[in-house]
Amino acid sequence: MNLIYNSDQYSVVEFVADDGREALRFGGYEIMDKSVKRETFIGGTLAEAFRKNVENLIATEPSVEEIDAFLGNYDVLMSQPVVLH
């Protein structure tokens, strides 16, 4: 598990690929919107597509605002409340 992005608005944690677990076959990502305290986990082919889109975005040397706007596309998936233990 690696924290790969952290701004005032979002944080993204990457989980490495694990052939022994179908949900992590392509790895996975937990994306959290800090302002609304919601998060989502994406795995499988959606994680693979996310990784490719992130690679394309990084190639453009985006600003923090542009990265946050990209992550905002995933807001609709964020239905899990963030709970601290």
pLDDT tens-digit map of 5-26: 999 999 999 988 766 766 566 6
The model's pTM is 0.84
CA distances from 4 to 7, 23, 31, 38, 47 (A): 10, 19, 10, 18, 14
Q: Which residue has the higher pLDDT, 45 or 33?
A: 33
pLDDT band at 27 (very low <50, low <70, confident <90, very high): confident
Q: What is the pLDDT of residue 34?
A: 94
Sheet of 38-43: strand order equals 2-6, 10-15, 28-33, 38-43, 80-81
